[in-house]
Structure 1
Amino acid sequence: MVHVVYGDGKGTLVLSQALEAVPGVPEADDQYGFSLAVYDADLDGCSDLVVGDPYEDIGAVPDSGVVHVIYGSVSGLNAGGTAAKEFYQGSGARLGGGPETDDWVGYAVAAGKTSSGTPFLLIGVPGESIADVEDAGGFHYLSGTAMTTAFVHQDTDVAGAVAGTAERDDRFGSSLAATPTHFGVGTPGEALGTVPFAGGVGFFSHALTSGSPKPLGGIGQDQDAVSGDEQVGDQFGAAVAMVPYRASGATSTAESLLVVGTPGQDLKTTVDAGSVQVFKLAVNGTFTETAAIDQNLDGVDGEAEAGDFFGKQLAAVNSSPNATSTATTTRLAIGVPGEESSEEHPEKGGVLIVPLVGAPGASDRWIDPGYGIGSLPAPRMLAGLSLAASPSLLYVGSPYGPAEARAVYGFPWNVASGGAPTQVIKPGEGGIPETGVAFGATVR
């Protein structure tokens, strides 16, 4: 189920497959709303909602997955007369290929407009088999208001080779992020040499060649230009985020900052502490690492501990994309779901907020359950698994733990450590139905 909260107190809306206007029917374990994106798909000036349902059964094929685009209007979502569109793999479907068990269409989605104003939608299919290579993964790229589609995987033959090759358990398409000039695709299961599940990220331009986006390159910890060492189970690329970037003196915002989470990274003997790296992407596809962040870095709040999984989730913002990027305008939230501040509250979780430009520890902030994120810390709340960015607020979902703590909290990006949210959205308040199992597990 998806709860839509309109701005300026204009009410709420509940979307699910129980509605006649939404394709399909509710089924056990669908997890409708597992992924979300917002963009103007038809260029009518109203936001449209993308809903991923990766565990939807297509016919008798379990967990093949589906994505819905639900159209907005001046009267609200799903209220303007344009029927929702359904995207799945199968006979007569809008996406190429056929449905297969555990394809997970819609496990990740990302959407927006290119620098030329063309709407685009990315749909991850991390469980897709490429030929006889199981779980190699791929993604669908939908371009323009006509939503012309192209399917891309690591063996796709396009101008400028896609980084890597299709291998078992790569899970290419598990994570997606985009700006108007670039987009990134996470491959957390990528093997680097003999190191399994080390991970990698491919990045692309929105420029189309024969309908497919142009590959620009790939990033992995086996490259000299990338800090850190590839390790078993690092899962480099398990989370990605991107924002537009404009250097001082530049006349346009043509570059991007790509943020990559590596939640399984071991820091010396500290297993699964996790780390995050930031890369600047040039228009021509060259990249430069600008920051490597972990909780052992000078000035950064906290201390790296085993099982923190620092970087498991990310959210980033550039609140002034048409001006020079600064530490104030470009901010990054890093989810640390395994964090625990005491033996009483194991895996309580937390969120670290850092600048994307300049030293990460220069203006970092920390919030966690009982310290900004509600008032009730408890074991295994896993705070930091649900994050979203708007230009003005960082949204933190708190779907687990005590029922009274389950909510979505909106924090100013400059919130002080432990500071209070300026918005709280929770079941039973503001027109939202009182029932809220896992409320806020995904936020957009």
Structure 2
Amino acid sequence: MQILKHDLNANKVPTPVKSLHQDTDGISGGSEAGDLFGKALSMASYRPAGAATDGDSIIAVGSPGEGIEVEGVDKTAAGRVVTLRVTAGGAVSELQDIQQEKTDVTGAAEAGDRFGEQVTVVNTSPRNVGSTTSMLLAVGIPGENEGTVVDSGAVQTFSLLGAPGLTDRWIVPGAAPGLPGVPGANQLLGTSITATATHLYIGTPNGPGARGAAHLMPWSNVTGGAVAPVTSYEPGKDGLPAVGKAFGAAIQ
């Protein structure tokens, strides 16, 4: 992956900051065929303690093809996410290697999970010093099996600051955060996510709804606050025409 500034250089193109891959010094892991490092990217501004402004950034890098070794067995395409801090001066450093075999992280790395197929990060309070409740990450895991339900998928949220297992929350239909429905085979939850300062947006184009749906989940549902109602949009309901399919396949 290549990090660029918005400023144009003498060649009238965005100014390069740093080129990164898994063999770059300071980046964990190693480059292997099929890792797909950088398949999903998302960035948010960050104000560290002692800084006057939010001049730094944190980038989440999805690597859904990454194999994770568990007790000597390689779990092919289990997936992982790397978070990077980019300072205002252009220095880049790794913050966390996030995957399901990390201490206290919910779930377990399994072949084909594709953890990191989609990522979205947000700073819910960009003018203030970043905290564990304002710097947030959501990770799509479309190959996750929920019990015996194959490829039902899941979304997992984390804080971008601190150890991943301290704040992670598990989102599947019918669970505590309030996403409606029930897990179903091949729903591939986690293929469509994005975020704003107030809500996590989750697309469910493959069900439970027959034509797909899109859901707006308040961040408080996964950050320890009150669990508020999830707003859902689905063809055939609340004035939306009952036509088409895969509603929610892309959310921006």
TM over 0.5: yes
The whole-number CA distance in structure 1 between the counterparts of 2:113 and 2:16 is 33
TM-score, scaled to structure 2:
0.91
Matching residue of 2:199:
393
1:111-150 aligned within 5 A: none
Matching residue of 2:189:
383
Count matched residues. 242
2:119 to 284, 301, 314: 314
SS at match of 2:4: strand
In structure 2, runs of 5+ residues without a counterpart are none
The whole-number CA distance in structure 2 between the counterparts of 1:204 and 1:416 is 32
1:359 to 163, 171, 175: 163
SS at match of 2:172: strand
User: Any idea what the Cα deviations from partners look like across 1:359-409, whole Å, max 9, x if unmatched?
Assistant: 211111111133343223210000000001011000100000343482111
Matching residue of 1:430:
238
Matching residue of 1:289:
94
Matching residue of 1:415:
221
Matching residue of 2:2:
202
SS at match of 2:165: helix
Matching residue of 1:266:
67
SS at match of 2:66: coil
The whole-number CA distance in structure 2 between the counterparts of 1:439 and 1:394 is 17
The whole-number CA distance in structure 2 between the counterparts of 1:226 and 1:422 is 37
**Larger Rg over CA atoms:** 1
Cα distance change of structure 1 residues 294 and 405 upon mapping to structure 2, 3 Å threshold: farther
Q: Is the 8 A contact 1:348 1:369 kept in 2?
A: no
The letter of the residue matching 1:251 is A
1:144-223 aligned within 5 A: 201-210=1-10, 211-223=12-24
Cα distance change of structure 1 residues 420 and 253 upon mapping to structure 2, 3 Å threshold: closer
The whole-number CA distance in structure 2 between the counterparts of 1:401 and 1:435 is 15
> How much has 1:435 moved relative to structure 2?
1.4
1:4-23 aligned within 5 A: none
SS at match of 1:243: strand
2:58 to 247, 254, 257: 257
The whole-number CA distance in structure 1 between the counterparts of 2:108 and 2:186 is 19
Q: CA RMSD in A?
A: 1.6
The whole-number CA distance in structure 1 between the counterparts of 2:244 and 2:106 is 32
Cα distance change of structure 1 residues 252 and 403 upon mapping to structure 2, 3 Å threshold: closer
The whole-number CA distance in structure 1 between the counterparts of 2:98 and 2:158 is 9
In structure 1, runs of 5+ residues without a counterpart are 1-200
Judge which range, 238-247 or 355-364, deviates more. Answer: 355-364
Please say if 1:335 is aligned against 2:140: yes
Cα distance change of structure 1 residues 405 and 356 upon mapping to structure 2, 3 Å threshold: farther
Residue identity (%): 38
The whole-number CA distance in structure 2 between the counterparts of 1:242 and 1:277 is 12
The whole-number CA distance in structure 2 between the counterparts of 1:421 and 1:230 is 42
SS at match of 1:234: coil
Matching residue of 2:29:
228
Cα distance change of structure 1 residues 413 and 348 upon mapping to structure 2, 3 Å threshold: same
> How much has 1:420 moved relative to structure 2?
6.9
1:403 to 209, 212, 231: 209
User: Any idea what the Cα deviations from partners look like across 1:163-183, whole Å, max 9, x if unmatched?
Assistant: xxxxxxxxxxxxxxxxxxxxx
> How much has 1:231 moved relative to structure 2?
1.3
